[in-house]
Every structure is written in C-alpha cells, then in structure tokens.
C-alpha cells in the first residue's frame, strides 16, 4: 500500500454526484470478556482475535469487526484508490480481502456505486472459493447506468431498477445470493413500502437473504421493518460522530435490528493519521468535509489526543481504541473499517478482543462528550441525503 497522490477524476465525479456516499435475544451474547488489551497469538499478529465472540445483526451472525471495501479506479487500470489518500492495486486488494477471511473476518461491505462496479468485482474475485465462510453486504440506490457504470446523479430505488441492479451485483460478486442488501440512501420519490416489497420478492427468489437501510429517516426504518424485517442499519458512527445515539440506536434495540457503523475510524481521524495542520488534496473526500477544514481541525484535535492517551493506557493503538469503543457500546454493533493496508487490517481485527470495564467506558464516554466537535460531518449536498423520510404510499 502506498500513501500517494492519486488520479483525481473518479473521486471528483463522486464528490460532484454528492453520493459519497428491539430487546432482541442476542443482546446478552457478547461483551462478556474481561477488560483488556487486544489479544495476539503465536501463529500471527491478529490470529488471536479469531476466538472473539460472534455478533448478531438481526438474524446474521458475524465476526465483531468487518471490512469496508470502498474502492475506486485510479490512474492506471490496476490501481485501486480509497476515498481518501490511500491507494493499492487490484491484486493487493484481493490479497487483503483473503487475508481478512483467514483472520476470521466474515462481514465484507461494498456497494454498486463504489467504482462503480469495481469494488463488487474485486470482492467477488477475492471471495471465490471462500463464499460460504462470509457474509457479503452490498448496496443499491444510486442512479448508476447498468450498461456503462456511469453515475447519472441522484438516486434510483424504483422496483424495476432494483431488480436489474441485483442481477448485475450477483454477476460481479460471483454468487447466487447477497447476504445483506442495503438501500444506500432513501429515495424521496419511492415509497419505502415499494422498496421493501421488491426486496421481499428477491428474498422469496433466494437472490437476497437479508436487507438493511443506510442513513434512513426514523419513520422510514419503522415502515420498512413492518413490511420485511431489517437485519441492519448502516449509518456513520464513531467517537467523532455520535448522532445515532440520539434515536437510531434505540430504534434498532427496540426492533432487534443490528447496527453497522460506517467510517468507524472517522475517515482516519481517530486512527491518529491526521494532524492539526493536515491539508487534503482535492481528490481526497476529506477536503470537502467541514470538520476537517483548516479552521476546524485544531479545535477537533483534543479528541485524537484523548484516543492516544487511552491507547497508551490500554496497550493498544488509536484505531483499536476507536473500534473497541464502538463494539463495547452494544453487542449488535459491527464496525466496518476500511483499509488498503494489511498491517492496518491485522491491527483492526485485533480490536475484536479488546474490552473496557463499565467504569472505563463511563470515564471515556464522559471525556469524549466534553470535547465539542467543530464542523459538519459531511459536505452540505451529501448531508442533505441523510435522514430522509420516504414519501407515503398512496
């Protein structure tokens, strides 16, 4: 993996399109280990994590830490870029996913629009021969031309479009079923009942096993779940953005829906990779994110200092503290950190065995809450697509 400047076009298109985007029985099943640092093992740097207690996302059972596979084309045909400043190549990305499987990771997250198509193709190739050991999650709902992969802008969750997208996803993922299919963003033109009904049909056909929503409005969660039970909600959630704590997590708990935090490392910020004077190239999505703007960054650095302090205290890394803080909150939370780097993958996987005592967690929570974060979590046009309620079914 190299941290290198990358070709601007795919990411600029992405920015321009503005698309970057109950008391369940399993509640008691995890978080029971004594508090401690991440476990290592003699047979490899992250192998000790394999014994981590599995978690439930609705009916799905997964390893506590997943892998985000959001990759976009780079300057040359084999180049693979993340949304930020990291890049790798196609074969290394495939090897990274296979290493994750070997380490025990089971939840792999991608989307039609990541690339578009490219991330699903890489995930599909990497998981060939390993398909039965993993849970593949992907997303539909962005308006992508099914022939060319061109982003047409906006959203499209019309039932006939969803059905076409799923056919393409099954081909690219080299599988006969999608374990977890999310609507990427709520489509303000399509009642969620129509989306849920389409998913229900796809489930009846065996093409989709479970479904979820990403960044939905609160009533839309309830309406969707009433038509066909949701396995997971996927929203941004981390020490840097605690919005889901206001209402979404309690709805998930009430309805027995799992929760998958995206950008669990705050786009790298709470992994300790950003400093007060960091500046981002225009191809780096963070260049457009207000909380990383030059006037906001210095005010937000105390959160990184706090994570570093806890990392020293727990004999862990900042990324591990950030991930273990999320998994400590509820046993049905499964973060999906993104990485292009095998060492980072191994480090993140080890967070699966890291725990906090109740007293530690209370202390850390209070310290996080005392740090006000300056600047919005997303650019305005992307933020506008979150928390949207689907139109009523007439």
Ligand X SMILES: NC(=O)c1ccc[n+]([C@@H]2O[C@H](COP(=O)([O-])OP(=O)(O)OC[C@H]3O[C@@H](n4cnc5c(N)ncnc54)[C@H](OP(=O)(O)O)[C@@H]3O)[C@@H](O)[C@H]2O)c1
Q: Which is nearer to ligand X, 194 or 215 (CB)?
A: 215
Pair type for strands 55-57 and 60-62: antiparallel
Rounded CA gap, 114 and 82, in Å?
A: 9
Instruction: State in Å, rounded, how far the first CA of the chain is from the last one.
Output: 51
CB 88 within 8 A of CB 1: yes
Shortest CB 317 distance to ligand X, Å: 6
Shortest CB 32 distance to ligand X, Å: 25
Strand (E) or helix (H) holding 382: helix 380-383
CB 70 within 8 A of CB 114: yes
Mark residues 69-98: x for contact with ligand X by CB under 6 A, - for none: xx-----------xxx-x------------
16 phi and psi angles, rounded to 5 deg = -60, -40
Q: Which is nearer to ligand X, 19 or 196 (CB)?
A: 19
- Neighbouring CB atoms inside 10 A of 189's CB total 12
| CA-derived radius of gyration, the chain | 19
Shortest CB 131 distance to ligand X, Å: 19
Q: Give yes or no for residue 214 binding ligand X (CB under 6 A).
A: yes
Per DSSP, 392 falls in state P
CB 68 within 8 A of CB 93: no
Q: Give yes or no for residue 212 binding ligand X (CB under 6 A).
A: no
Q: Which two tokens stand for residue 357?
A: 């005592």
Task: Report the largest interatomic distance among the alpha carbons of the chain, rounded to a whole angstrom.
Answer: 61
Q: Which is nearer to ligand X, 29 or 381 (CB)?
A: 381
Query: For ligand X, which residue has the nearest CB?
Result: 68
Rounded CA gap, 173 and 169, in Å?
A: 6
Stretch that binds ligand X, among 10-18, 194-202, 300-308, 343-351 (CB under 6 A): 343-351
Of 47, 268, 354, 373, the residue at the interface with ligand X (CB under 6 A) is 268
Of 17, 62, 336, 364, the residue at the interface with ligand X (CB under 6 A) is 336
Q: Give yes or no for residue 339 binding ligand X (CB under 6 A).
A: yes
Shortest CB 23 distance to ligand X, Å: 26
Q: Which two tokens stand for residue 305?
A: 């200092």
Shortest CB 341 distance to ligand X, Å: 4
Q: Which is nearer to ligand X, 142 or 251 (CB)?
A: 142
Stretch that binds ligand X, among 37-45, 65-73, 249-257, 296-304 (CB under 6 A): 65-73
Q: Give yes or no for residue 2 binding ligand X (CB under 6 A).
A: no
Quote the strand ranges of 11-78, DSSP E: 55-57, 60-62, 67-68, 72-73
Mark residues 285-324: x for contact with ligand X by CB under 6 A, - for none: ----------------------------------x-----
Shortest CB 162 distance to ligand X, Å: 17
Q: Which two tokens stand for residue 261?
A: 């935090």
Q: Which is nearer to ligand X, 281 or 392 (CB)?
A: 281
Shortest CB 246 distance to ligand X, Å: 18
Q: Which is nearer to ligand X, 282 or 363 (CB)?
A: 282
Q: Give yes or no for residue 340 binding ligand X (CB under 6 A).
A: yes
Residue 39 CB burial class (10 angstroms; 0-12, 13-18, ≥19): middle
Mark residues 10-39: x for contact with ligand X by CB under 6 A, - for none: -----------x------------------
Give the number of residues in contact with ligand X, rule: CB under 6 A.
Answer: 32
* Torsion sign, CA atoms 289, 184, 213, 107: negative
CB 318 within 8 A of CB 311: yes
Shortest CB 320 distance to ligand X, Å: 7
Rounded CA gap, 95 and 73, in Å?
A: 17
Q: Give yes or no for residue 262 binding ligand X (CB under 6 A).
A: yes
Rounded CA gap, 19 and 162, in Å?
A: 17
Stretch that binds ligand X, among 30-38, 193-201, 249-257, 261-269 (CB under 6 A): 261-269
Name the site residues for ligand X (rule: CB under 6 A): 1, 21, 68-70, 82-84, 86, 109, 214-215, 234, 262-268, 271, 273, 319, 336-341, 344, 347-348
């Amino acid at each position: 993996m190299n941290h290198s400047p990358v070709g601007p076009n795919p990411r600029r298109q992405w920015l321009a399109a503005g698309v970057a985007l109950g008391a369940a029985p399993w509640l008691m099943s995890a978080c029971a280990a004594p508090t401690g640092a991440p476990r290592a093992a003699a047979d490899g740097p992250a192998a000790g994590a394999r014994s981590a207690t599995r978690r439930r996302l609705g009916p799905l059972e997964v390893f506590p830490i997943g892998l985000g596979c959001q990759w976009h084309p780079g300057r040359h045909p084999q180049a693979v870029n993340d949304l930020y400043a990291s890049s790798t190549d196609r074969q290394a990305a495939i090897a990274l996913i296979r290493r994750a499987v070997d380490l025990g990771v089971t939840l792999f997250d991608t989307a039609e629009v990541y690339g578009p198509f490219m991330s699903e193709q890489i995930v599909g190739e990497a998981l060939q021969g390993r398909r039965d050991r993993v849970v593949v999650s992907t997303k539909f709902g962005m308006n992508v031309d099914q022939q060319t992969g061109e982003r047409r802008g906006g959203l499209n969750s019309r039932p006939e479009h969803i059905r076409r997208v799923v056919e393409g996803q099954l081909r690219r993922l080299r599988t006969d079923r999608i374990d977890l299919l999310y609507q990427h963003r709520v489509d303000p033109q399509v009642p969620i009942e129509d989306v849920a009904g389409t998913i229900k049909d796809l489930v009846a056909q065996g093409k989709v096993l479970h479904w979820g929503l990403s960044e939905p409005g609160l009533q839309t969660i309830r309406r969707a779940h009433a038509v066909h039970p949701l396995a997971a909600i996927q929203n941004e959630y981390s020490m840097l953005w605690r919005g889901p704590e206001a209402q979404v997590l309690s709805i998930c708990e009430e309805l027995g829906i799992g929760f998958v935090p995206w950008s669990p490392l705050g786009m790298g910020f709470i992994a300790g990779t950003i400093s007060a004077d960091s500046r981002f190239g225009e191809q780096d999505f963070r260049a457009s994110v207000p909380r990383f703007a030059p006037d906001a960054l210095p005010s937000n650095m105390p959160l990184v200092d706090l994570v570093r302090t806890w990392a020293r205290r727990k004999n862990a890394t900042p990324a591990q503290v950030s991930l273990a803080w999320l998994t400590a909150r509820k046993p049905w939370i499964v973060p999906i950190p993104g990485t292009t780097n095998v060492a980072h993958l191994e480090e993140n996987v080890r967070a699966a065995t890291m725990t906090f005592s109740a007293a530690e967690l209370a202390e850390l929570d209070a310290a996080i809450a005392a740090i006000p974060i300056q600047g919005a979590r997303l650019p305005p046009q992307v933020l506008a697509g979150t928390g949207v309620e689907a139109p009523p079914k007439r």
